Amino acid sequence: MKNEKLRLNKYIASTGFCSRRKADEYIEAGKVSVNGTKVTELGFIIKSKDKVTINGEIIKPKNLTYIKYYKPAGYITTMSDEKGRKTIYDILPEEVQNLKPVGRLDKDSTGLLIMTNDGDFINELAHPSVKVPKVYRVCATGKLTLNDLVLMEKGIEIEKDKIAYALARIVDFEGKNSVLEIMLYQGLNRQIRKMLDILGHPVISLKRVSFGPVDLSGLKKGQFKYLKPKQIQEIKNYLKKLNKNNSK
């Protein structure tokens, strides 16, 4: 980035410190300085040689890394846990310990996590207005009916004034249990589990198999793969298309 000029919020996001939207909040709050001078102007332009600090901490651009990870059961998706529960960072290799997940999977769930140090990328993929589809393979107790699937699509109140929606289809029946493929556009906490509990069909197992155009191909539980630049560009193009369609 030799003598390159760019917006301050974009520079901050390029360091992986946070997203551009969050950077704007820091700027407006007077927490950002450039070459020792506090900056509160949104859209402020800096050069590559400028020194940027947030709350006195120098931030610098770093190589952006993107991986897909097959989370096993028994681990929560946070950096640390005050209750002492195991987290994915207890088992992730040191080389990717600095990456943050896009969204979460609860402790008992398995499957795909996309992880990166690109704050903008996280915000774009996870923002509810973008409506990136996430697909899950779910085994639930009992035999669901067509009416259950209709109720899931119409929406189920999982908490007071909180309606959850899902597109589901029955893939198979295993004994007395149902195997489902469920697509979500929301990201509510334990959404699928709560919906199926209310329908009287508690979840036995839940695995996320895809997140937008990314899937679990080539991975076993506990493994990760770096996403290549071409794949990252494909995801960004996919997001642009979604944004365009959502704005119509």
For the annotated catalytic residues, the residue numbers are: 106
DSSP the chain: -TT-EEEHHHHHHHTTSS-HHHHHHHHHTT-EEETTEE---TT-EEETT--EEETTEEE------EEEEEEPTT-BSSS--TT---BGGGTS-GGGTT-EESS---TT-EEEEEEES-HHHHHHHH-TTT---EEEEEEESS---HHHHHHHHH-EEEETTEEE--EEEEEEEETTEEEEEEEES---TTHHHHHHHHHT--EEEEEEEEETTEE-TT--TT-EEEPPHHHHHHHHHHHHHHHHHHT-
Asked if 181 and 171 count as a contact pair (C-beta separation under 8 A), the reply is: yes
Q: Give the Cα separation of 205 and 215 in Å (integer).
A: 18
**Which residues have a Cβ under 8 Å from the Cβ of 148 and sit 6 or more positions away?**
168, 199, 201
**What's the CA gap between 54 and 241, in Å, rounded?**
34
